Amino acid sequence: MSRRWKIVIGIAAILIVAFGALMTVTAVYISRHARAWVVDFLTQEFKSDVELSSFKVSIPFPLVQIEGEALALHFEGRNDLPAMIAVKRFTVRTSLPGLLRIPRHIQYVHLDGLQINIPPRGERESEGAGGARKAMSKFSSVRMDNILSENAVLKILTRKPGKDPLEFDIKQLNLHSTGSDGALAFRATLTNPTPPGEILSTGTFGPWNADAPSLTPVSGEYTFDNADLGHFRGIGGILSAKGTYQGVLEEIQTEGVTDTPDFRVTRAAHPVHLTTTFHATVDGTNGDTYLHPVETHFGKTILVAQGSVEGTAGKQGKTITLDVTGDQAQIEDLLLFALKESPAMAGAMRLKTKFILTPGSREIPDRMTLNGSFEIPSAHFTRGSMQQKVDNMSKRSQGDPKKVEDLQSQVRSDDVASAIKGNFRMQDGTLTLSRFGFAIPGANVHLDGTYSLDQESLDLHGKLEMEARLSQTTTGVKSFLLKAVDPFFSKNGKGTVLPIKITGPVNHPSYGLDRGRKDKAKN
């Protein structure tokens, strides 16, 4: 090798060693000062007190790798609240050119054990709007290609006394910058606490509002699969849902659909294919939801509900309060939720009720309160023997006992429709009926009483009004003997008024005179 090349190689080696030494000195210098730079940047960016246990920088040129542990940010020095952001361990990879240019460029961030506690909306947010814009301008000077977070927890705190924070376990979260405004595109897989199930969501988060975190924009779409409704005592089924959302954290507008092919009330155990479409406003800071409206479909029935799902100070869980209307309902569909046997009645129904479901460990029917009214203009009994009893009752009430058919007859000439209406209130598993009316040609029944969901038994008392006199409801000797008592059971000299009761199992009730209520029946 010539002397000239030896000199060139020697100079190159010296330069390489010098460059290596420079990189080593630079790494040491950066390691000594980078922690202070990062703490200062995070303090300004998030208006927070910053804790950082461990911070290490290595520079395998041209790359820069940063590792750290136990990072915590306390929003606006609020050490009385949990740290707004806490990370057990983190790794950042970038390049020297990426750190020197504007906007600064970070290639990869890995976060393990991230916990985000969104603080409640501050009382002086409007005064800090300028500070928020300034913080966002700082954040927009950093572009991140990819952020991967694993085993994260998101808690959204509330200022309302006694209300627990809303909490989500986020198994995996991928984020990357979408532009110069600081917004981040995300893909998240998280576990929903109640009912348990997996949510996959994609969308955009930010830019971060440092002065008012609850006003940070968010939008996207989601799917929610394999949600086990059996987590709620008293009902069952596997729910799936999908939808879209947009807004800010404290007021998110969302709409979507749900599908539960095997929804059932445990006591009745009839599986029903139930679907819903909904539009709602969600307060992401506490999980309170305002429904406007929800439309529910099952069988031939459509119910429309509006209301809220809200927490109560000092109590765990949320109370569901809804105004429910059903102008396109079928009584046989609704009875599937209440009766173990197949419904004995069919017909179109109009329904209006206030629905309240309180939180607690009891089964849903025991925590549910209903207060409303219903009307079935034309009901028919699905069991032939029961319908035939109604048909025969109509004939007797009109004074045509000779047309009464034997209950064992296979051929029936009539199928009388029954008009039914009334008010109801259900509480603690008991349905109370008032001003309950049952009308067929020739007769009207007025009843009050209760129906026990547990026992599926009736205890109703009231009166039967018939067009015919008592003696006209039968034939032969019975008719002759009853003429003597016609005046005692008539009203204003016409027809018949009898005190009656309906008791026993709902599918095999017992009908009879309610002795001792004769005077009440005549009033």
Q: How far apart are the first and last CA of the chain?
A: 129
Both structure tokens of 343: 């419904």
Q: What is the pLDDT of residue 126?
A: 38
SS3 44: helix
Q: What is the pLDDT of residue 294?
A: 92
Q: Are 250 and 212 in contact (CB under 8 A)?
A: no
SS3 359: coil
Q: Are 112 and 88 in contact (CB under 8 A)?
A: yes
Both structure tokens of 423: 């008010």
Q: What is the pLDDT of residue 319?
A: 87
499 by Cβ neighbours in 10 Å (0-12 / 13-18 / 19+) ranks as buried
d(CA 101, CA 103): 6
Q: What is the pLDDT of residue 142?
A: 65
57 by Cβ neighbours in 10 Å (0-12 / 13-18 / 19+) ranks as buried
For the stretch 249-261, what's the b/e string if a residue is b when 16 or more beta carbons lie within 10 angstroms of its beta carbon? Answer: bbebebebebebe
d(CA 81, CA 120): 10
Both structure tokens of 477: 């000797």
Instruction: State pTM to two decimals.
Output: 0.71
Q: Are 200 and 220 in contact (CB under 8 A)?
A: no
Both structure tokens of 131: 């500070």
Q: What share of the chain is helix, strand, coil (3-state, %, to 5)?
A: 20, 50, 30
187 by Cβ neighbours in 10 Å (0-12 / 13-18 / 19+) ranks as middle
Q: Where are the domains of the chain?
A: 383-522
Q: How many other C-beta atoms can be found within 10 angstroms of the C-beta atom of residue 174? A: 15
Residue among 167, 176, 177, 69 nearest 118 (CA)? 167
Q: Under the phi-then-psi rule, with left for phi > 0, alpha for psi from -120 to 50, and beta for the rest, what region is 246?
A: beta
Q: What is the pLDDT of residue 390?
A: 81
- HSE-up of residue 265 (Cα within 13 Å, Cβ side): 19
Q: What is the pLDDT of residues 456-489, one digit of tens each?
A: 888 999 999 999 998 888 888 888 888 888 888 8
Segments in the chain below pLDDT 50: 123-139, 519-523
Q: How many other C-beta atoms can be found within 10 angstroms of the C-beta atom of residue 201? A: 19
